[in-house]
Chain A
Amino acid sequence: ETGVTQSPTHLIKTRGQQVTLRCSSQSGHNTVSWYQQALGQGPQFIFQYYREEENGRGNFPPRFSGLQFPNYSSELNVNALELDDSALYLCASRWARENTEAFFGQGTRLTVV
């Protein structure tokens, strides 16, 4: 148990719809990162939030957006869903921006049909 919780665990959406995934970070952690893991691949960095501001972004289009709240929990929003967005979405939290241990949640399995 890492103390990082994600909801929902599974989700099925239709192409073109919008989805919101949620993450509660481990207590005391102020940095949250989101990753997309396609089947058979390693996780790919989407973006990171530190104290409610986005401070890093991977190679993902603007329809992937996020928020971080004052309690450091976070949301990942994806608009105009495409079939290729089907993946495991992982949230990771750290206690600072600096390179420290990142603890992952169990992920949300998103299927787009």
Chain B
Amino acid sequence: GEDVEQSLFLSVREGDSSVINCTYTDSSSTYLYWYKQEPGAGLQLLTYIFSNMDMKQDQRLTVLLNKKDKHLSLRIADTQTGDSAIYFCAESRGSQGNLIFGKGTKLSVKP
């Protein structure tokens, strides 16, 4: 996962917006993903963006992609305590489409 980098921690107050950032390395990646992992659980696919898009919005989630800088961000509007989890950025790699993950950003939401 060392090719995908994320900050390790983010703390926000309930009701604020959260922005989780990610940088990736493979400019040929066709899809970029955001997954959520709650304690003791598997990975939940939140959203993904195709590399020819700049932005994708899905309810409270907004994904921004800057392909030139290989920078991906996930914005969560009106963050709730239930959003507390670890968020992983992942890029697809090669024709097989296997995923390369970052180390994850732990989001803590304070009431």
Contact = CB atoms under 8 A, between A and B. Distances in A.
Interface of A: 2, 6, 33, 35, 40-45, 48, 50, 55-56, 58, 90, 92, 94, 97-107
A40 B37 CA distance: 12
B59 interface: no
Contacts of A35: 99, 101
Interface stretch (B10-18, B62-70, B71-79, B88-96): B88-96
A62 B95 CA distance: 22
Interface residues of B, number: 26
Contacts of B107: none
A41 B103 contact: yes
A90 B40 CA distance: 12
Contacts of B100: 45
Nearest to A91: B42
Contacts of B98: 33, 45, 48, 56, 58
15 contacts: A2-B42, A35-B99, A40-B103, A41-B1, A41-B103, A41-B104, A42-B90, A43-B43, A43-B88, A43-B99, A90-B42, A97-B95, A97-B97, A102-B33, A104-B43
A42 B102 contact: yes
Interface of B: 1, 4, 30-31, 33, 35, 41-45, 48, 88, 90, 92, 94-104
B43 A55 contact: no
Contacts of B94: 56
